[in-house]
């Protein structure tokens, strides 16, 4: 699981896109930089990041998943904290 500084919500003026299973997702610069660093260090693993794993356009899903995030981090094999 990744815990990262959210920063500003991605906007249409300067979107950073991540393609997951053929679907483009807008993500913050902080998360984008974190994922690049992990890839550069050749980290191969399943990674959970809220912006990718929770539908950011569905407020009900966001609320449901937000209540579960503490448990997710607690049960994760490893938690990466990204402050950049």
Query: What's the pLDDT tens digit per position in 7-53?
Result: 656 554 566 888 888 989 988 888 888 988 888 877 677 889 998 99
Query: Helix or strand or coil: residue 64?
Result: helix
Helix (H, G, I), strand (E, B), or coil: what is residue 31? helix
Q: How far apart are CA 10 and CA 55, in angstroms?
A: 14
As a whole number of angstroms, the distance between CA 21 and CA 47 comes to: 14
Give the domain extent around 53.
2-82
- The 3-state DSSP class for residue 17 equals strand
pLDDT of residue 62: 92
CA–CA gap between residue 37 and residue 67 (Å, rounded) = 28
- Give the total number of structural domains in the chain: 1
């Amino acid at each position: 699981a990744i815990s990262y500084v959210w920063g500003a919500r991605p906007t249409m003026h300067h979107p950073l896109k991540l393609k997951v299973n053929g679907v483009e997702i807008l993500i913050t610069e902080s998360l984008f930089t974190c994922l690049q660093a992990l890839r550069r260090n050749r980290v191969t693993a399943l990674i959970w990041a809220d912006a990718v794993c929770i539908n950011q356009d569905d407020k009900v899903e966001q609320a449901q998943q937000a209540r579960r995030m503490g448990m997710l981090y607690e049960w994760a094999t490893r938690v990466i904290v990204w402050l950049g």
